[in-house]
Amino acid sequence: MGVRTRAGGARTAVGTAAAATARWRRELGGGTLALLTVGSVMGSGLFLASGLAMREAGAFTLVFVAAGALAMYLEMRALAEMAVATPEPGSFLVYMARVWGPGWTFVTGWVFWFSSVLTMSSEVTAAATFTRLWFPQVPLWTWSLAYSALVIALNFLSVRGFGAVEGAMAAVKALAVAAFVLAAAWTLWPVVTGGAPLAAPAPLLPRGWVGAAPAFLLVLFAYAGTGVIGLAAAETAHPRRAIAFAATAATLYLALAYLASVAALLWLVPLSRMSAGVSPFVLAVRRLGIPAGGTVMNLVLLLAVLSTMNAALYGNVRVLYGLARQGEAPAALAELDRRGQPARAVWVSAGLLALTIVLAYALPAKAYAYLVTATGFQAMFIWLMVLLTHLRYRPYLERRMPERLTYRLPGYPWTTVAAMALVAVGLLASPLAHGELAGALVGFGGVAAAAAVWAGVRGRLRVGVERPRA
């Protein structure tokens, strides 16, 4: 079914894109998809924003990390269930269109796109911050510009080449975190069991319950980026096996790595030294006395956040492609080049990164804190929409294609509702964060702006969407 606009008459954007879909190259395997997911999730939320969370919540951050891991598991499992059953370009936007309609997909898709741009912005700002440890005299915006150009170039590689590069970067940071946890455990074991006091555990609630509550959004932000597991479905060989494997492997590794590394950081780094200016991992490695450890860890963290930024742009572009395919973005963005890449969508997404460079130039000391709060708010809004879609899409699949429900979220619908409740707590607490109200307002403003735009254009668009039967 085509899309009709008042200005252009009958159009066939959806049909054209559907034909172009045949050119997507299914070259990603289960292992690569798992690494791509880890690469998308494990970024500055763990390596930099975790310090802000621990400063506010102290040792109670571990409870938040455990709750965040549970929310991530449930959300990713729900998304993987839908993607395994229907591995289509556009992922959750396709599923949402079928059970909720075009208005929901318009708002959610554009919020996801803007949120992904903010994610890239926070990651590139973190990368520039890490680099300034070696070159403090170079302005933040200069590094932001250089790293943005590098990541844009990587996204023009073939699917196989992109998967290899992103998989390698993700593997490096996954192994580095594991090595850090082992080194910390080796050093801290005699301390914990009564040896010399190298460190002391952080206080439980240094700022009380009110001070700790906003840190939950920062922790949830550290788990954001799970959407790539569905967005890569159209480029995955044997998607049913690969997606199921990637979801299980990624959630297990991320949960264990986050809990272990945050526990080590709470022992090694005083809360007073945690800030947005230096990674707590760098401070911890210095405390461990590893020769040149701080420099090596800073290099690994730089690679880590560039990996997350790279994966964020990958997902961002495919959401923009999905919106165009459904008639909710310009039809030209649904076109693939001869290498099977949505090149125009890449350039549109990359263009908005210029705002990050402006922010890094205008507010170098506060750029990251503002971006991470805004990104966390919108990323959790996307989680809510994915879970809300899952509530209706499971019955839709059971009626129409029950044979495809080979990978399920256990405990439906209560587990889906439980995940939504955890995410809602983080969203409601976000405006309470000290000094971060501006970021929370930007996050909420992005949702409100998308809804307002839809209200203005809905009369000029008729989007062909398959709806569920009553």
Closest residue by Cα to residue 160 from 234, 236, 70: 236
Please state the pTM of the whole predicted model.
Answer: 0.82
- The whole-number pLDDT of residue 144 equals 83
- pLDDT for 245-262, tens place per residue? 999 999 999 999 999 999
- The whole-number pLDDT of residue 431 equals 66
- The whole-number pLDDT of residue 309 equals 83
CB burial class (10 A; 0-12, 13-18, 19+) of residue 209?
A: exposed
| Residues whose CB is less than 8 angstroms from the CB of residue 348 and which lie 6 or more positions away in sequence, other chains included | 320, 333
Mean pLDDT by 10 residues, the chain (470 residues): 36 39 63 86 85 89 95 94 86 88 89 82 81 85 85 76 78 89 84 58 77 84 87 78 90 95 90 80 85 82 84 82 82 77 82 67 59 76 94 95 92 95 85 62 82 83 46
Beta carbons of 302 and 126 less than 8 angstroms apart: no
- The whole-number pLDDT of residue 193 equals 62
Beta carbons of 384 and 425 less than 8 angstroms apart: no
The amino acid that residue 420 corresponds to is M
- The whole-number pLDDT of residue 18 equals 40
- pLDDT for 99-134, tens place per residue? 998 888 899 988 888 888 877 877 788 888 889 888
- The whole-number pLDDT of residue 383 equals 93
Helices (H), ranges, 269-353: 280-288, 293-325, 343-352
Closest residue by Cα to residue 145 from 122, 175, 124, 117: 124
What Å distances lie between residue 247 and 20, 64, 178, 306, 344, CA to CA?
A: 28, 21, 19, 22, 30
Instruction: Please give the domain boundaries of the chain with CATH numbers for all domains.
Output: 29-457 (1.20.1740.10)
- The whole-number pLDDT of residue 314 equals 81
| Residues whose CB is less than 8 angstroms from the CB of residue 193 and which lie 6 or more positions away in sequence, other chains included | none
